Structure 1
């Protein structure tokens, strides 16, 4: 069989950037007599999602140097914020509900297989780089409506969350009858940075009946996952082959702050 060379290389580069913010100001209507005041509901979200699947297969009776490699780069940057101001209507006090979320998600799957009867140097390698940065904030100010007569004051409910998630799966297999130097390697780098915060201020509505209560749920989460599998079978040199390298970093300086009265 005549020697020949087959090259198959896949590169994906994705960049997603969001700078848009969500802002809402709400004022509930007042109820007359024994009527109830109007309540406010706000749901705000900023989401970024990236997914990549790469499959490379090379079968050759000759040289496959520099073939069957997958390279993926994903970048997410969010500077947008969620902000809501709510004032419950007077009457049998109107309540306020606010739900705010900022989410970033990245997923990468890479599979590479190389079968060669000759030289496979620099083949069957997977490289994945994922980066997430969030500087956006969730902010909510809520004032419960006052109850008239024997009415009860309006309550406040706020749910706020900031989440970052990264997942990487890499599989590489190289079978060669010759040189397999620098082949069948998996390299994964994941970084997450969050400086965004959750902040809520709540003032329960007053009433000559019962006063309105306040509820606040806040969370900041970062998650990273990496799975790497590499197999090399060679009849020759395997220097610098079959290595798995994984680097993960998480940095959060964001805070959860709630003031309730």
Structure 2
């Protein structure tokens, strides 16, 4: 299993070496390790109050009008770009040979500066710094500074002018790791969903922003006509927001799902 996790760590900075056919061979090679990772998650304890699929809307905690105003500028700045990194789902797709490179592109507006760059350090502000791309998206960076974080790590744009589907996947298999992040989009055109792998049920995100469990459930997107975009910012939520969030006794990765299922933590 560590070999698969090492792949994730090494692809914090993805490169052109990723290729769809090579990814198929890698999946076959790592089949046993990937199956073990999925089994680890399936067998983990989950609070019985949690319902999957689920997500927590963040529209009450962000400036949605500000977010929507970013759409035109993003289209204009993204349209001429041709060399952005291919979006990689990671090895934990719903089916072993599902497409890990669905065709969308990504831009990191923050780069991991640590010599030992680690995928799991998405939320550690001390190892992230603005990338060379950040200066091309000043409106996005300005919006990010308004989000309810006390510190910010990775900042990521994911986009596709052809609106291709994004393969259902889970991000990793560490059930005791909870990444605090906000996923958001300036329009509702991207048909993004979270999915209960046991039942196949999908819940489509109806809000402009969300936090969701990326480990105990799958997530992806259906194909759509034309331009689709979403962004994700990882970090540490501010204390006011954290005071609302119920925390499970086990399986920290399910924190967002517990909040979505039971609501705000009761005052003590």
TM-score (normalizing by structure 1): 0.21
Structure (1 or 2) with the larger CA radius of gyration: 1
TM-score (normalizing by structure 2): 0.21
Higher strand share: 1
